[in-house]
Structure 1
Amino acid sequence: MSRIRQHNLHLILQAASAEFAAKGFDGTQTRDIASRAGVPKANLYYYFQSKENLYAQVLLGFVKPLLQASAVLRESDDPASGLQAYISARIRIAREHPHIAKVFSGELLLGGKQLPEECRDLLYAEARRNVECLRSWIDRGLIAPVDPQHLMLFIWSATRTYTNLGWQMAHITGCATPQDEDYDNAAATITRLVLDGVAPAAVREDRVWLFAT
């Protein structure tokens, strides 16, 4: 891929992410994406053929960081370390990819009707692997016998707070845009809630459940 092509693709995808995040798929016009990207409108159709294809590419761009976050959950690892790393990785996604995260969450709230098939397959496989990792830890008595599916759903929803509830969070924190400290505090709080909630009975009795702060 030539440098010019790569540069144009990057500009268009960045602009499209911001426009889709602000206006949704139906409210976004390709001319506005082109204007934000600083390229002729014809370039959008040259590279992506349609708004639908461009939207699909924006969604697919969010799958890679999600899979990278899931890679830290390994059955052979200590659950406390693994869960903390996973939560931190998902919070980092919201911090580093705010526009794509909002587009992706918005699409899921609408039922994921425009998710590419490739995207669906990867997400289904990721979800199954994550749940099986939790189930393995439960079966070995490393974490409490909670429902692994609902535990994973809780982590997903909690780590999407800044993406899905931006308006509410801005009023609570008094800051229109989350700062690094806000994301760090979110990761620490969610981690503590999860680890305290899944600590084995013997550990809870001793009040010992170690994780980095």
Structure 2
Amino acid sequence: MYAQTDTPNATNAEAAALAGALDQSLGNPGIRRRNLKLILRAASEAFSVSGFTATHSHDIAERAGLPKANLYYYFQSKENLYIQVLMSFLEPLLKASAALRHSDDPVLGLQAYIKARIRIIREHPFAATVFSQELLSGGKRLPEAGKHMLQEEARRNVAWLRGWIELGRLAPCDPEHLMIFIWSATRTYSNLAWQMAQVRGIPAPDKSDYDRATRTVTQMVLGGVVPA
């Protein structure tokens, strides 16, 4: 868990001690996993709606249906919880990125990459929104370890695209900007889900909408970079 060092005040320390005693008395690691899952989901929802500054710990606790003491016990502070939400989305994001390199065929690789990126947005809509908002604000709270992992994964994928271009398997283009275009085209669906629903005349996008988005973005990308 990526947690910043905190010096909790007396109230927080007492709350943490209380939550810890309750957790230990239950003697069930499954309860810990359940609580962590509930808190992370509730935090993702709250941060996606109100942002970091306007979200309060009691809002998250209320969404999770848990005492606020549990938040301090597991995460020590709101900032630590926010960081953990970011890092929880980083793992599926890196797996989606690696999908590009699972095939030597650029068509299959690009199809898998676009599909994977839109799939994780559909599966983790709130965390995806929080992560996207954090990047738009300059990544001020994203840990350096997370930034490093993103940079290294981007370098690997750019090098992979450049190799395909040099072999003539992709049309000549700038691999960095091709990667940025794919990022922006897919990330749109975490930022603009409400607009997508309005365009479609539905309460919220469903799986079929994301499938259509995947096909459309894939068609646009392949149409521009696959040699005739």
Aligned equivalent of 1:128: 155
Which residue does 2:41 correspond to in 1?
14
One of 131, 137, 158 as aligned partner of 1:110: 137
| Cα distance, 1:142–1:75 mapped onto 2, change above 3 Å | farther
Aligned partner of 1:58 in structure 2 is 85
SS for the counterpart of 1:26 is: helix
Structure 1 residues 32 and 75: alpha-carbon distance in aligned structure 2, compared to 1, 3 A threshold: closer
Deviations, residues 102-135 of structure 1 (Å, cap 9, x unaligned): 0000111111101011211111111111111111
Which range moved further: 62-71 or 91-100?
62-71
1:26 matched residue in structure 2:
53
Given that 1:75 and 1:136 are in contact with CA atoms closer than 8 Å, whether structure 2 keeps it comes out as no
Distance 1:98 1:75, change over 3 A: closer
Structure 2 unmatched ranges of 5 or more? 1-27
Residue 7 of structure 1: how far off its partner (Å): 1.0
1:209 maps to what in 2? none
- Aligned-residue Cα RMSD (Å) equals 1.3
- The more displaced of 150-159 and 166-175 is 166-175
Q: Is 1:165 aligned to residue 192 of structure 2?
A: yes
Task: Please tell me whether residue 42 in structure 1 is matched to residue 75 in structure 2.
Answer: no
Give CA-to-partner distance per residue, 1:32-52, whole Å, 9 cap, x none: 101111111011011101000
1:91 touches 1:187 (CA, 8 Å); kept in 2?
yes
The answer to whether the 8 A contact 2:106-2:164 is kept is yes
Partner of 2:214: 187
TM superposition shift of 1:85: 0.5
Q: Following superposition, which runs of at least 4 residues in structure 1 exceed 4 angstroms of deviation?
A: none
SS of 1:133 mapped into structure 2: helix
Aligned to 1:147: 174
Q: Cα deviation per residue 1:168-187 (whole Å; 9 max; x = unaligned)?
A: 22222212311111100000
May I ask how many residue pairs the two structures share in their alignment? 201
Q: Say which one has the larger Rg.
A: 2
**CA deviation string 1:50-83 (max 9, x = no partner):** 0000000000001111111122222861000000
TM norm structure 2: 0.85
Query: Residue 102 of structure 1 aligns to which amino acid in structure 2?
Result: T
Amino acid at match of 2:206: Q
How far apart, in 1, do the equivalents of 2:102 and 2:194 lie? Answer: 37
